[in-house]
Amino acid sequence: MRPAAKPRSHARAWMLAAALLASAFGCRTVDRMEIFQPDYESAVPPRREVDVPEDRVARSSIESEPEVPAEGAIPLSIEQAVMLGLRNDRELRVAQLESVVTGAFEAIERGAYDPELYVDAEVTEDRSSETDRATGERFDVKGEEARVEAGVRQVLPTGTEIEGNVSQRRSISDRAPELQEARLGLTVTQSLLEGLGPAVNLASVRQAELETEASRHELRGFTESVVAQIEIAYWNHVLARREIEIFERSLEVADRQRDEVEQRIEVGVLADTEAAAARAEVALREQALIDARSEVEQTRLRLVRRVDPDAAGRFERELDLTTLPEVDAAPIDDLEDRLKLAEERRPDLAEARTLLRRDELDTLVTRNGLLPRLDVFLALGRTGFGDTFDESFRELETNTYDWTAGVSFSYLLGNRAARARDHAAQADRRRAEEAVENLLQLVRLDVRIALDELERTRQQIGATAATRALQEQTVEAEQARFEVGSSTALLVAQAQRDLLQAQIAEVESVVAYRIARVRLFLAEGSLLERRGIRFD
């Protein structure tokens, strides 16, 4: 017969022992041994959905998606673009989940004050040899003991630790009869110096709350930035489309001018040299039109990326932007009100102030850490003995008890680590105060610069409109002189080129004013409210 195979568990035990011996003799480090390499693909739990709280989701007052016709361009207003962007922007989703992670630390800190239920159970068996004093004979003694203890521990914000427990022990021995012992116990420990009071013990909870509040301000600021980028992308696409319309009209004018010059050359009214300027102007307009078409496509792709990057073919079609850039621009003279608004509403400033309050709590904790550790404790117990399990608990009513009271004191001579932590906390607090003051200055500067830029673009609207009107008159005059032979095709082309630049500058000034308004609202921290966007 073939010998029976050893159990598989024995084989694994021998392999483990061999691996440990090999590691002990320096053959290979334990963490690199094949037997200890886990299968992380199966060990990692599957991903589950994480809900983003309502107060971290920005909602627009415009909830209707653009109607998508069967063919042709898709109409899209700037309000619809913002609504779609808030819903579909992946960077915003990442920021929302980051705020969820930050908010979880508040629950983690509060978890330190959750009551703890514990159960301990153990069984002990021993066999020993003893000598009888009367006969001098040796004999074996066997004993067995089983013990179970269950209880609840609770840490209070006052610096108090409370533990209540119930235990039962059963002892059996060859030398003694069976003994059952039951015990009820209560232990209270109170800190009197370091760790005393809710203020220092709940500081970490309050700091976690402030971290959560700061993450909301950060998320709000990021959302404002996303909205601003969507609007700027929208207006840049509007500008590109307006420019391409101007370039197409200018190319038509250049084509007509070239045809007229060539006709006059054919009848002998103009010299052959006049054709070069007209043809060159047509070539220049064609080059500009090629660049303009490329710019339109690039701005369209940037807008689609901001609005809905996952739309399957829906936004691959041309967009019909329905919000017009024209504005009735009036001068702004409420600088002080806007500065006050920015001081109240800027998310980054609110976040910095919140983090300053967090750092102030650090000084509370480190100052308490300078104190010695002085704890007073009291332990009370009542014990019952019996031959059976039930009898041991019934005997708890008898006059068998124990109590222990005491004081524990400790202090590090010099206490350099605690003093260093307190010094660092004070420096961090001072640094945060300086950072808030510096940020406040930058916020005021941002508002002033944004307001100055808005005023510049407002004035440019009127100036560029006047320049465009005068350039139109110049082109008409130059064309009239060309008709009577007192001008050249080159001068007419130069006048038309100046008119083209004036038309582009006029459109750019209007769109620049729109973008400057967005940046002013962003500098004020009021963009979301002005766009009807809120957090629950």
The pLDDT value recorded for residue 4 is 45
Q: Which fold has domain 205-359+424-535?
A: Outer membrane efflux proteins (OEP) (1.20.1600)
For 527, the 3-state DSSP assignment is helix
- Tens-place pLDDT, residues 186-222: 999 999 999 999 999 999 999 999 999 999 999 999 9
> Considering the chain, what percentage of its residues have pLDDT values greater than 70?
93
- Phi and psi (nearest 5°) for 68? -100, 110
- List of the chain residues with pLDDT < 70: 1-28, 61-64, 312, 536
The pLDDT value recorded for residue 411 is 93
The pLDDT value recorded for residue 16 is 65
Contacts 24+ apart (CB under 8 A), 246-251: 246/500, 246/503, 246/504, 246/507, 247/285, 247/288, 247/289, 247/292, 247/500, 248/289, 250/285, 250/288, 250/496, 250/499, 250/500, 250/503, 251/282, 251/285, 251/286, 251/289
Reported pTM = 0.81
The pLDDT value recorded for residue 464 is 93
The pLDDT value recorded for residue 21 is 60
Query: What residue spans define the domains of the chain?
Result: 117-156+160-194+373-410, 205-359+424-535
The pLDDT value recorded for residue 148 is 95
How far is C-alpha 302 from the geometric centre of its chain's CA atoms? 23
Adjacent-strand bridge partners of 373 = 410
